[in-house]
Structure 1
Amino acid sequence: MNTKRLDQLFAFYKEDPSDPFVIYGIATEYASVEKWEEAIKYYEILLKEHETYTGTYYHAAYAYAENGQSDKAEETYKTGLKICQQEKDHHAFKELQSAYTNFQLEEDDEW
């Protein structure tokens, strides 16, 4: 995690706490060092307040899965796929669909 970058992101966040790009950046910084609870905190802000920010779903679902929250991960994948279709974000849809398929295969392997 780049502490300087995180400090700068928090300064931007203080100026405009509604900027989804800044919130996403904070979540990503925490995820980069597997601080899942902190990452999830910011991903959840995006999921609630910026539902159409399609890039969130891939990373939020992954964070949930890594934090042992498989049910939330699956729900996030499914919701994200619907949002990507609504937003006509084909690229995000394909990436999310692939990640969801891999998630399902990994879940099956755990049985």
Structure 2
Amino acid sequence: MSSRIEALKNALKKDPDNPLGLYGLAVELFKEKRYQEAVEYLLRYLEKHEDQGAAYRLLAQAYTELGKIDEAVQAYEKGIEQAEKFKHSSMVKEFSLEIESLKKQLT
């Protein structure tokens, strides 16, 4: 286990709902290709904190790596809602293109 992951897990023991800790740990786990664990921390983060869209991107990417295309599409769709709410038009376009690409994989 990397020292960054270990440090973030230790920090979360003291403050389990810390948004930077939850998101940061998910990012580090994703980098190490520990996609299922990344999903778990992203879901915890999103359950407690409002995100502008980036966490939904990472969640969708992790689901894609796990072969869970339907879940990835749903994550991008929720990400679009949040991106629109925070007026991130480029993120809306990006997520829309990703959804099109994923849906092609389903057919």
**Percent identity (aligned):** 25
Segments of structure 2 that go 5 or more residues without pairing to the other structure are: none
Distance in 2, matches of 1:37 and 1:46, equals 14
Residues 106/75 of structure 1: CA separation in 2 closer, same or farther (3 Å cut)? closer
CA distance in 1, matches of 2:102, 2:56: 18
Corresponding position: 1:15 with 2:14: yes
Q: In 2, Cα distance between the equivalents of 1:33 and 1:103?
A: 25
CA distance in 2 between counterparts of 1:82 and 1:8 reads: 33
1:101 maps to which of 94, 97, 102: 97
In structure 1, stretches of 5+ residues that fail to align are: none
1:15-36 Cα distance to aligned partner (Å, 9 max, x none): 1111111101111111002111
Give the superposed CA RMSD. Answer: 1.9
Instruction: Give the aligned residue type for 2:16.
Output: P
Output the TM-score relative to the length of structure 2.
Answer: 0.85
